Amino acid sequence: MRVALGAALMVTLLARGGISQPARVPILVELYTSEGCSSCPPADALLESLQREQPVAGAEIVSLGLHVDYFNQLGWKDAFSSATFTARQDSYSAVFGTDNLYTPQIVVDGAAAIPGNESALVRRAVAAAVTRPHSSLRLAASVAGDKVMLTIDVSAMPSNAERMQLLAAITEDGLTSIVNKGENQGRTLHHVAVVRHLQLVGPIAAKAAPVQSRLQIERGWGPHLKAVVWLQAAKSRHVYGAASIPLAR
């Protein structure tokens, strides 16, 4: 009887919010994609599903949609593509090997590279990432006109000796393109977490004070913007913390 009553009390407390649930661990999920790639629309849909449903227990998926530019010569120029994003994907060749960079590709917390259409493998990699040590990043943002000021506080640095970099991005949800050339001719494509701007805030010291970074919102960007920041090892490329926040305009 005591066991039954205890179980009933636990269920009641959970239902009423009497027991707080463990905080989810932010896990960075990067999708390298292109509107000129016929295999990419299912990967774009997967990223949207991961962001909307948050299906992995214990994980808060922080998503980035990085549109590479090396498909632009195939008849359709992706308006969201950038050589900066291609260079970021190339930087993973030191970890995964040059032959293991492709599109669509998902990189989970800088530690696992997976075909962008493999939902089960991506979820497995996210679940594995939750078990690894992470630092807590606290992020605040203020918007004045087209200027964004971020304040980033890292609670504790990883205990290893790797040099850490702090990066920041602005992403946009709810984007649509009607493609009239190239491999996706005739398709209407939908995107979330499209990276509009990416910048290195800088290396971060072992006992860093809160860091500030200024970003700019460009003309033509829509209302559904977020700021995303993450802490990444310069050599191993492992991500040790991430955070995101909507930008109120």
Write out pLDDT tens, residues 28-51: 999 999 999 999 999 999 999 999
DSSP state of 20: P
Task: Please write the tens of the pLDDT for every residue from 176-201.
Answer: 999 999 999 999 999 999 999 999 99
Evaluate whether 229 touches 139 at the Cβ level (below 8 Å).
yes
**Between 59 and 9, the higher pLDDT residue:** 59
pTM of the prediction? 0.90
- The answer to whether the beta carbons of residues 107 and 92 sit under 8 Å apart is yes
Q: What is the pLDDT of residue 154?
A: 87
Is the Cβ–Cβ distance between 137 and 241 less than 8 Å?
yes
Q: What is the mean pLDDT of residues 24-28?
A: 97
Which domains, ranges and CATH numbers included, belong to the chain? Answer: 23-246 (2.60.40.2060)
Integer Rg of the chain from CA: 20
Alpha-carbon distances, residue 11 vs 1, 4, 23, 178, 219 (angstroms): 15, 11, 19, 49, 50
Phi, psi (rounded to 5 degrees) for 117: -100, 0
